[in-house]
């Protein structure tokens, strides 16, 4: 059997190891971005991604080693790499449809652990096979590059080094370069293209010179086969580039004002006649909203407006004093814009880790340029400054992606230190389902949050947000905060806002603390959040399950 001339100095084999390692890590990071809009980017999802990829690589290592022992033809390896490359290129074309199809099936058949099962199934179907094929590269190359036992240690060590360096580049390049610049879909295509180019170089490389003329016919057949592989591979890859370059995850949406990706999030801005809406994922609703006519949002932000009244915002205005507000999790500035619209004596400081969201806030959500926004992690910001504030809003919790470092006793103690005398912390607690509101014996993520906050603050109350999966929690050391809320709300000239404060007063409930405390050492926010999402999904799909039982698939389709 004749080998390709390109393998003569082994550098090409080392480069194969380099690019395969790079592509594995790039696909892993791309997988997290592809799954995040549907399943969040929590530690649970990352665990599933890493676990399934390790399974694929381990099985690939075993299979690749056995194949290399049985057949020393490197062409078989590069054939597998080409298939892997084309599969990766197909991911942006069909991946999101597969994920949604899996979710649609499982949401009606799975009663618990939906997030884990759906994410695992998606990973197994979409990502395992190409990474299994790339897992065959290392043992195969170890076989092809080793000539004798005299230098096998050095050669295998070199292969490992090339793989590691490639993996490092494959880790940093998608996160900091390709995904923010061109999106997840194009990132998959870029790294698939690298592997395709590698395989094209191999298959189009001439064979070593034949000594016998009777081998010419076999050589000619091999060349035609290789050329067919190259043409077919390039054709499929070109089709993938044409149909897979779109960055749209919410492909059923039309007329989006903006859709793109940042280092941290998938972002979409949608404009209606009355509002502008920001979503940082597809399946979990609205994160921020701007009401164009200046009216109240109808969301939890309206109830969070009670915090300035609890601090005596109207009393301060009469005395010529300003109210200092810090917002951790600024988003597109809904709360800041609302405060600015209704109060003249409010100084607002925002902290938002995603600078692209801040850019969108200025462009689409009327966030004033005068509003100070720091691009930083909320807890890190508190640790870095010594300022005190009358109101601190904590709104960094999104679906189950709750930063554990912003849910612990240590964090809320830090918030307390930065509150001025009489100051109030307001926390938006999402994911309240009917089950969690009706006295379930199992503590929810919100119960843990409220218990943890109660262990730090003297006074904690909760306000319901009707028609939403939210509750607003207010915490303070002041014993007069509800009295101030009532007296300052009575001074409000805006009738709608005054009525909103009346509703807040009517629904405010003193929180009865339990013993579910989270600390920096132990804060199981992902598991608690997953349990809560299971409950919410169960509530939401029960209606459709009943339709399916009564009228079958046709009735279900007609109801959608």
Q: Give the active site residues.
A: 395
Is residue 446 within 8 A of residue 471, CB to CB? The reply is: yes
Beta bridge partners of 392: 326, 425
Spatial strand order of the sheet with 258-261 comes to 258-261, 266-271, 275-279, 288-291
Distance of CA 439 to the CA centre of its chain: 31
What separation in angstroms does the CA of 19 have from each of 44, 128, 177, 191, 374? Answer: 28, 18, 17, 9, 38
SS (H, E, C) 165-185: HHHHHHHHHHHHHHHHHHCHH
3-state helix, strand, coil in the chain (%, to 5): 60, 10, 30
Nearest 10 degrees: Cα torsion 49, 51, 55, 61: 90
By C-alpha distance, which of 73, 78, 264, 119 is closest to 184? 264
The rounded radius of gyration (Å) of the Cα atoms in the chain is 29
Supply the DSSP string of 44-113, one letter for each residue.
HHHHHHHHHHHHHHHHHHHHHHHHHHH---HHHHHHHHHHHHHHHHHHHHHHHHHHHHHHHHHHTT-SS-
SS3 5: helix
By C-alpha distance, which of 520, 280, 484, 302 is closest to 398? 280
By C-alpha distance, which of 399, 398, 397, 396 is closest to 114? 399
In the block, residue with structure tokens 């999104």: 398
CA angle, residues 410, 414, 418, in degrees to nearest 5: 170
Strands (E), 15-73: none
Pairing state between β 389-394 and 275-279 = unpaired
Is residue 462 within 8 A of residue 473, CB to CB? The reply is: yes
Tokens read off for 256: 């989006």
Q: Which helix (H) or strand (E) holds 508?
A: none
By C-alpha distance, which of 284, 279, 286 is closest to 533? 284
What separation in angstroms does the CA of 253 have from each of 258, 269, 271? Answer: 11, 11, 12
Helix locations, 371-422, DSSP H: 378-384, 409-417
């Amino acid at each position: 059997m004749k080998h390709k001339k390109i393998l003569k100095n082994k550098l090409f084999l080392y480069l194969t190891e380099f690019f395969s390692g790079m592509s594995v890590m790039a696909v892993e990071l791309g997988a997290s971005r592809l799954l995040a809009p549907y399943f969040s980017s929590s530690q649970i999802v990352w665990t599933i991604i890493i676990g399934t990829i390790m399974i694929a690589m381990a099985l690939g290592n075993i299979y690749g080693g056995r194949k290399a022992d049985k057949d020393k033809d490197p062409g078989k390896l590069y054939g597998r790499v080409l298939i892997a490359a084309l599969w990766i290129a197909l991911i942006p074309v069909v991946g999101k449809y597969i994920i949604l199809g899996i979710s649609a099936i499982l949401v009606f058949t799975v009663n618990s652990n939906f997030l884990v099962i759906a994410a695992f199934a998606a990973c197994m179907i979409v990502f395992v096979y190409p990474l299994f094929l790339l897992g065959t590269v290392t043992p195969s190359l170890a076989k092809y590059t080793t000539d004798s036992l005299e230098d096998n240690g050095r050669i295998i060590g070199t292969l490992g080094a090339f793989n590691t360096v490639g993996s490092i580049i494959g880790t940093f390049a998608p996160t900091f370069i390709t995904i923010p610049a061109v999106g997840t879909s194009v990132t998959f295509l870029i790294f698939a293209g690298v592997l395709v180019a590698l395989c094209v170089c191999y298959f189009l490389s001439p064979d070593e010179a034949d000594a016998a003329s009777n081998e010419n016919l076999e050589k000619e057949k091999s060349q035609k086969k290789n050329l067919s592989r190259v043409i077919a591979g390039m054709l499929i890859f070109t089709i993938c580039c044409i149909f897979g370059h779109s960055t749209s995850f919410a492909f059923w949406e039309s007329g989006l004002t903006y859709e793109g990706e940042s280092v941290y999030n998938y972002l979409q801005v949608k404009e209606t006649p009355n509002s502008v809406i920001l979503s940082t994922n597809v399946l979990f609703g609205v994160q921020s909203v701007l009401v164009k006519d200046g009216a109240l949002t109808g969301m939890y932000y309206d109830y969070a407006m009670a915090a300035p009244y609890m601090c005596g915002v109207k009393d301060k205005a009469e005395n010529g004093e300003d109210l200092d507000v810090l917002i951790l999790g600024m988003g597109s500035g809904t709360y800041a814009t609302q405060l600015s619209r209704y109060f003249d004596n409010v100084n607002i400081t925002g902290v938002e880790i995603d600078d692209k969201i801040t850019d969108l806030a200025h462009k689409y959500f009327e966030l004033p340029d005068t509003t100070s926004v720091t691009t930083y992690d909320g807890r890190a910001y508190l640790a870095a400054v010594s300022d005190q504030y009358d109101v601190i809003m904590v709104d960094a919790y999104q679906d189950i992606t709750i930063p554990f470092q912003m849910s612990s006793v240590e964090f809320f103690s830090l918030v307390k230190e930065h509150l001025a005398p009489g100051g109030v912390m307001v926390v938006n607690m999402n994911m309240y389902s009917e089950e969690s509101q009706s006295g379930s014996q199992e503590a929810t993520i919100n119960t843990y949050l409220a218990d943890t906050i109660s262990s730090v603050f003297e006074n904690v109350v909760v306000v319901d947000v009707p028609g939403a999966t939210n509750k607003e929690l207010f915490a303070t050391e002041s014993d007069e905060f509800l009295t101030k809320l009532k007296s300052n709300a009575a001074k409000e000239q805006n009738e709608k806002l005054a009525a909103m404060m009346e509703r807040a007063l009517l629904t405010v409930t003193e929180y009865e603390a339990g013993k579910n405390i989270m600390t920096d050492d132990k804060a199981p926010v992902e598991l608690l959040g997953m349990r809560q999402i299971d409950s919410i999904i169960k509530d939401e799909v029960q209606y459709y399950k009943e339709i399916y039982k009564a009228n079958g698939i046709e009735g279900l389709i007609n109801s959608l």
